[in-house]
A and B are shown apart, each in its own frame.
Chain A
Amino acid sequence: MARAVSNRTKVVNTVIAGTLGFLMFFPIVWILVLSFKTEEDAIRAPLEVLFSSGWTGDSFRAVMARSDYFKYFSNSVIIAVGSTFLGLLIAVPAAWAMAFVPGKQTKNILMWMLSTKMLPPVGVLIPIYLLFRDTGLLDTRTGLVFILTMINLPIIVWMLYTYFKEIPGEILEAARMDGASLKEEVIYVLTPMAIPGMASTVLLNIILAWNEAFWTLNLTAAKAAPLTAFIASYSSPEGLFYAKLSAASIMAIAPILIMGWFSQKQLVRGLTFGAVK
């Protein structure tokens, strides 16, 4: 900063931005509060909830005691992590080739890959549903891993491509001059330099896959349903459920919130396909 800013200005900015920021964040704070209340307390007026009711971890226990909670959670983990790593496996060679051995068609291929992302999922809902039904993939984790891999593959390729592009080509040439084989080049030169970019790609894609709520809701029933579907089951509840819904929601979003905070910068790159840096 070339210009000195008075503390007074800073305080005013902090108060305004802090208030607005807190308002955006408030729903999350509020479900965190409700998740530690009894069901009877959770529907009382906000001030009573805060100041004249006890705290309890019962809702978390109740949600986790449901025989199937762990199943939903592990489905979410398997689907998000599985699709991300399968995608990485397919995308790394492709992005590597496009970044280091660019041909005349590289740009067109990249743009075309991106265009597959523009296809609205609902436009292919029926064929995918029927194909899954006929091949027995409906309501299986394998099926969802496959779908989410295909959905996020363009983003993975693009992110890796932009990261690989930043690795200077001279280093590779130097390695080649020193007689490194392609295999050695990849293992000893490229991989160490590419790991940060790959880590952020993994992070962003786990977030996107974890929160995906079109295919996960439409292609699963009892067996392969992840947390998105588990939470959706609270849309037609019986009896009081605010505290339990809050506890379940907190458990469903907490891991991703934490990962998201670490990947803010990569988020911009990944979601704008390098158009904003």
Chain B
Amino acid sequence: MATKASRTSARLMMSPAVLLLLAWMLVPLCMTLYFSFLRYNLLQPGSGNPFVGWENYYWFITDPSFTAALFNTLKLVGGVLLITTVGGIGFALLLDRPMFGQGIIRIMVIAPFFVMPTVSGLIWKNMFMNPVNGIFGHLASALGMQPVDFFGQIPLLSIIFIVSWMWLPFATLILLTALQSLDQEQIEAAEMDGASWVNRFWHMVLPHMARAITVVILIQTIFLLSVFAEILVTTNGGPGTATTTLTYLIYVSSLLQFDVGLGSAGGVLAIILANIVAIFLMRMIGKNLDA
């Protein structure tokens, strides 16, 4: 039904968005790729930035902090995913039950998602996890225990905790939305037929939520790979490299050491890592577009 004229105008209407995004994606990407093969440091101008092949990649990967950063990234992403998915399923099941004041309770659960990362990082670090003045510290002293120095003794775990607090609402909200589209009559029928709670959950509720759970995991992974501000305001990647993630390591080599070549090589590796996840996510969303 679309005429030739409307097809042409449609193309015109799309072109600003398409061209801008194309430029936004291709220009920096090509530059990163190009820089990653140069010896290029902003602190040493006039060196001519010679082509050095894979040297930057070699230095980036053989640096012990790279291995540390890679494992920290995996632990951070894995830890937060575990907490938010399991907690999110629990919260969603709980909030789906009949209760008073459901709207208010839901609002309280969702609220942390709207707190900006620098605020979350700093309020947990100071008001809660500070061993002297924080609430956890006060609580420990009141109980006669030794207060935990969170960012000294368990830095990565503390950051996993803070990031989980911010993302648990996201998982809960999406899983709750999925849960609410579940056919209640089917569940009740199963209940009448004598299916136990565990059986109903395992064979009916969980399969129904499977898709939403996958989406939660994939989308969170994309965002969690880029966690930055929470680390910047709490530990600065330390002590040592205890909380340095891949994102943070690249930030350090790029904007603190001004090593353009090295930072770019790290950037390329981060892009590859994110793309592995992205391929799976895109497939899920693409399938839904057909349906």
Q: Which residues of A contact B (CB under 8 A)?
A: 1-3, 5, 9-11, 13-14, 16-18, 20-22, 24-25, 27-28, 30-31, 34, 43, 45-46, 90-91, 93-94, 96-98, 100-101, 103, 107, 109-111, 113-131, 150, 153-154, 157, 173, 182, 207, 210-211, 213-214, 217-218, 227-229, 231-232, 234-235, 241-242, 245-246, 249, 252-253, 256-257, 259-261, 264-265, 267-268, 271-277
Contacts and interface: CB of A to CB of B under 8 A. Distances in A.
Q: Which 7 A-B pairs have the closest CB atoms?
A: A93-B13, A127-B31, A118-B278, A124-B28, A213-B229, A97-B10, A25-B108
A14 B100 contact: yes
Chain A interface helix/strand/loop/mixed? helix
Contacts of B215: 272, 275-276
Contacts of A98: 10, 14
Contacts of B78: none
A109 B22 CA distance: 11
Interface string B105-118: 11111111111111
Interface string B222-263: 100110110011100000000000110011001100001001
Residue with the highest number of chain A CB atoms closer than 10 Å, among B2, B102, B118, B122:
B118
Contacts of B222: 117-118
A111 B27 contact: no
B86 to A, nearest CB: 14
A124 B228 CA distance: 14
Interface stretch (B59-67, B89-97, B152-160, B195-203): B89-97
Contacts of A115: 278, 282
Contacts of A14: 99-101, 105
Chain B interface helix/strand/loop/mixed? helix
Nearest to A231: B118
A245 B178 contact: no
Nearest to A255: B114
Contacts of A129: 254-255
Contact of A111 (B102, B124, B177, B289): B289
